[in-house]
Amino acid sequence: MSGGNLLTVYIAAVLAILVIVSALGAALVIYQRRFLALHRDYTRKLIAAHEEERAYVAREVHDDALQRVALIQHDIGDWIDARREMSPQDRVTTQAFREELADLGVMLRRVAHRLHPAIIDQGGLLPALKQLADDTSRITTVDVETRLPALAEKVLDRERSLIVFRIAQEAIRNVTKHSSATRAEIGVELSPAGLVMTISDNGRGFDSGDATKAAGLGMISMSERARLADGSFNVWSKPGEGTTIRVTVPVNS
């Protein structure tokens, strides 16, 4: 075989290898894209199923458990009214029962709200975040302040509003359970990238560069929810300097 023919064969072989490698690379890219799309669709459906189950339980709590508590309160009131004479000890005991039932009703309403915040449907994201901050300040040792803009209209649809609210819920839960913080802030602002929510605290913090600590289940859940809203999720923290998370979500087009 002449040198020219050998060179032609060599070039053809190289081109064939390049074509095969390119085809494999393209197939791999297509596979990865399909896998990510399937994963995203599965995660979206899983979260939607969780939200549907939460809404069902919230309705059961509101329509059944709370009604039963109210009925028992009414029956106790009728029983007290029917007894013309009661000893001081009996009055103290029945009053204690009524106060316990009232506390139970408050707790059940709080559970129903956490499971399915109806205020999002009524007023949108910002009132829901304000209520989350107020409830947390009232029932925990963490004072949560808000920095919320006055928006003329809802800039997020219900699905994205609920996603951002769930991220805030998880972040505040982490603050109250793990950070040893005494203060926290929920802030919202609009930027060219969309709606930006930041949640910061004055807790003990952690090394956000340590993947073992930073990638806890709560952080993974928040990051996954942000991606489902076509947004981004970032966290900054240092030992002794608190923690700040930042979520950016595109607004309604």
Q: What is the CATH number of the domain that holds 175?
A: 3.30.565.10
Closest by Cα among 142, 134, 117 to 203:
142
Looking at the structure, tell me whether residues 135 and 97 fall in a common domain.
no
Looking at the structure, tell me whether residues 99 and 133 fall in a common domain.
no
Looking at the structure, tell me whether residues 125 and 229 fall in a common domain.
yes
The domain of 90 spans 1-116
Predicted confidence (pLDDT) per residue in 183-238, tens digit: 999 999 988 888 999 999 999 888 876 644 554 667 888 888 888 888 999 999 88
Looking at the structure, tell me whether residues 123 and 240 fall in a common domain.
yes
Choose one of 116, 140, 166: the last residue of a domain. 116
Ranges of the chain whose pLDDT falls below 50: 211-212, 215
Predicted pLDDT at 212 = 45
Predicted pLDDT at 183 = 94
Q: How many folded domains does the chain comprise? A: 2
Looking at the structure, tell me whether residues 7 and 112 fall in a common domain.
yes
Predicted pLDDT at 9 = 67
Give residues with Cβ within 8 angstroms of 25, minimum separation 6. none
Predicted pLDDT at 187 = 95
Looking at the structure, tell me whether residues 125 and 85 fall in a common domain.
no
Looking at the structure, tell me whether residues 87 and 146 fall in a common domain.
no
Model-wide pTM > 0.85: no
Looking at the structure, tell me whether residues 145 and 52 fall in a common domain.
no
Predicted pLDDT at 247 = 95
Choose one of 116, 139, 173: the last residue of a domain. 116
Q: What six digits make up the tokens of 123?
A: 């007023």
CA atoms within 13 A on the CB side of 87: 3
CA atoms within 13 A on the CB side of 218: 16
Predicted pLDDT at 197 = 95
Looking at the structure, tell me whether residues 123 and 245 fall in a common domain.
yes
Predicted pLDDT at 87 = 76
